[in-house]
């Protein structure tokens, strides 16, 4: 069986994503890329996460062709493939439908950096927070390219009226960003009941920006 470690990571994170309330039903998807071969292990389409096993995970090539697997790969495979194509250092892509972040996405509302740890989602100073791209029909190559373009060098993106995409040098970092985005979205939506939360500036975010930059470098070895 190809990529047993990567398959296992996909299964583990899919189950954790469900347990952590970052998705419902069979929505969302996760992939892990093998840096040496370029092959990608991706969650299958339509399999309940509680039933997911390593043999259900599908292995695809850089071009998106199925190399090994008894299941159909996620219907949003092109989104994953396009992100990897544009981000050679990315080792994992996580797509959730976490409720508070998706709430902002349904409003086509960016998530400002109101909490220092949201710097994990930014490749720059962190001042931009997490941007939201406009709605597009998913499951297409056009959508995948638009997501990769909107993501740029950052590690998180809100997908208009859809959900959240995060990535990272490894599965641990990508999943941590997904959890942090949802936590910060919950703070932002809840805080809005009392007033408009203030976005932090570059100086206030600098320590966390440096810390997460070091974490990414360490993950890359």
Crossing angle (nearest 10°) for helices 4-19 and 171-191? 20
- CA 5 to chain CA centroid, nearest Å: 19
> Mapping DSSP to helix (H, G, I), strand (E, B) and coil, where does residue 31 land?
strand
Q: Exactly one of 9, 76, 78, 182 is catalytic; which is it?
A: 76
Torsion of CA 3, 46, 95, 162, to 10 degrees: 160
Distance CA 220, CA 100 (A): 30
Cα angle vertex 185, ends 181, 186, to 5°? 120
**Residue 54: CB atoms within 10 Å:** 17
Q: Which residues pair with 157 in a beta bridge?
A: 165
Cα angle vertex 49, ends 87, 82, to 5°? 20
Distance CA 16, CA 11 (A): 9
Distance CA 187, CA 121 (A): 16
76 catalytic? Reply is: yes
Active site residue ranges = 76
């Amino acid at each position: 069986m190809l990529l047993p470690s990567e398959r296992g990571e996909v299964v583990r994170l899919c189950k954790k994503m469900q347990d952590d309330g970052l998705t419902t039903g069979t929505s969302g998807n996760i992939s892990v890329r093998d840096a040496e071969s370029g092959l990608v292990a991706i969650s299958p389409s339509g399999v309940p996460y509680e039933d997911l096993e390593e043999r259900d995970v599908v292995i695809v090539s850089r071009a998106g062709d199925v190399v090994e697997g008894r299941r159909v790969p996620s219907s949003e495979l092109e989104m994953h493939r396009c992100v990897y194509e544009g981000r050679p250092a990315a080792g994992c892509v996580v797509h959730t439908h976490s409720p508070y972040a998706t709430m902002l996405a349904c409003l086509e509302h960016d998530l400002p950096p109101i909490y220092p740890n949201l710097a994990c989602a930014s490749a720059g100073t962190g001042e931009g927070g997490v941007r939201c791209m406009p709605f597009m029909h998913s499951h297409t190559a056009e959508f995948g390219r638009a997501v990769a373009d909107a993501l740029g060098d950052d590690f998180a993106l809100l997908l208009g009226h859809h959900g959240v995409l995060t990535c990272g040098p490894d599965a641990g970092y990508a999943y941590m960003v997904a959890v942090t985005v949802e936590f910060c979205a919950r703070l932002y939506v809840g805080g809005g009941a009392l007033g408009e939360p203030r976005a932090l500036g570059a100086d206030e975010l600098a320590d966390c920006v440096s810390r997460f930059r070091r974490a990414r470098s360490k993950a890359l070895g």
